[in-house]
């Protein structure tokens, strides 16, 4: 019976073109055979990638009512590194990053937010840095410009030339599209500040975001209270 109901709902949405899959979050046009095919291709692979079965040894660095944060370090077992990499690839492809390798993989710390449904719904990659350039106020995106064009034009000059001392660089931060605005990115960053350097708590100023996206800037501006 449930299946029939689902078909009716889908048929209704067809008239409006775009549909967001309620499990994988992909936005696609149910009218288009191409889109449907792409969705089918993506759907299971995505869900398999973010599925977290649990490990014998997990480095749990924070616990919440709706999930936990685990830390993966370069010297960890292969299965842990593999999961961190796979999730990072998802984030990278969503961010449109071309290169899939980290600047210094041997020093990168990956923080994964696991929700109560055993899915990796957030990922943050942090690296040690010495200095950073402060992100300057960015002009608002004109309505007729795509996000990609805007990024292309503004990425180059969004940073000041005066270097600031920083300790921790966030090279990637990503939250599953269906789980955004629930404070997951905030909790990932709070946890990084507490656990990145053993025995010390980093201030917001000691954290730097590399090459932020428009979403990343909105979040970082709010988080840093600037």
Q: What are phi and psi of 70, to 5 degrees?
A: -115, 150
User: Please, which residue, 19 or 115, has the CB nearer to ligand ACO?
Assistant: 115
Using the contact rule CB under 6 A, the part of the chain among 132-140, 143-151, 169-177, 196-204 near ligand ACO is 169-177
User: Please, which residue, 28 or 212, has the CB nearer to ligand ACO?
Assistant: 212
Give the residue from 82, 35, 70 showing the smallest Cα distance to 192: 70
The correct pick among 19, 24, 129, 174 for binding Zn ion (CB under 5 A) is 24
Q: Work out the number of other CB atoms within 10 angstroms of the CB of residue 4.
A: 8
C-beta of residue 122 within 8 angstroms of C-beta of residue 62: no
Give the residue from 58, 161, 147 showing the smallest Cα distance to 110: 58
When CB distances to ligand ACO are compared, the closest residue is 216
Q: CB of residue 174 vs ligand ACO: minimum separation in angstroms?
A: 4
Footprint on residues 85-144 left by ligand ACO (CB under 6 A): 94-95
The correct pick among 167, 172, 192, 206 for binding ligand ACO (CB under 6 A) is 172
Q: Is 175 in the site for ligand ACO (CB under 6 A)?
A: yes
Q: What are phi and psi of 102, to 5 degrees?
A: -85, 155
Pick one of Zn ion, ligand ACO, none as the site partner of residue 38 (Cβ within 5 to 8 A by kind): none
> What are 170's strand-pairing partners?
126, 209
Contacts of 139-144 spanning 24+ positions with Cβ under 8 A? 141/214
Q: CB of residue 208 vs ligand ACO: minimum separation in angstroms?
A: 9
The CA distances from residue 15 to 4, 29, 154, in Å, are 18, 10, 37
The correct pick among 129, 170, 202, 207 for binding ligand ACO (CB under 6 A) is 170
Give the residue from 83, 56, 60 showing the smallest Cα distance to 71: 60
Q: CB of residue 214 vs ligand ACO: minimum separation in angstroms?
A: 7
Going residue by residue from 40 to 59, which x/- string records binding to Zn ion, judged by CB under 5 A?
---x----------------
Q: CB of residue 3 vs Zn ion: minimum separation in angstroms?
A: 16
């Amino acid at each position: 019976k449930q299946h029939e109901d689902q078909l009716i709902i889908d048929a209704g949405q067809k008239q409006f073109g775009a549909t967001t899959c309620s499990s994988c979050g992909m936005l696609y046009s149910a009218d288009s055979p191409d889109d449907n095919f792409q969705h089918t291709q993506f759907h299971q692979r995505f869900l398999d990638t973010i599925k977290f079965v649990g490990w014998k040894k997990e480095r749990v660095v924070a616990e919440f009512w709706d999930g936990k944060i685990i830390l993966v370090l370069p010297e960890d077992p292969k299965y842990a590194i593999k999961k961190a990499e796979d999730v990072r690839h998802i984030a990278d492809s969503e961010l449109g990053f071309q290169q899939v390798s980290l600047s210094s993989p041997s020093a990168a710390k990956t923080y994964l937010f696991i929700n109560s449904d055993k899915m990796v719904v957030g990922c943050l990659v942090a690296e040690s840095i010495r200095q950073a350039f402060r992100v300057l106020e960015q002009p608002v995106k004109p309505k007729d410009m795509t996000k990609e064009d805007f990024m292309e034009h503004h990425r180059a000059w969004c940073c000041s030339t005066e270097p600031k001392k920083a300790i921790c660089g966030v090279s990637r931060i990503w939250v599953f599209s269906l789980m955004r605005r629930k404070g997951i990115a905030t909790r990932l960053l709070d946890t990084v500040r507490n656990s990145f350097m053993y025995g010390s708590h980093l201030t917001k100023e000691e954290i730097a975001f590399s090459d932020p996206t428009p979403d990343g800037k909105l979040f970082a501006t709010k988080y840093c209270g600037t």
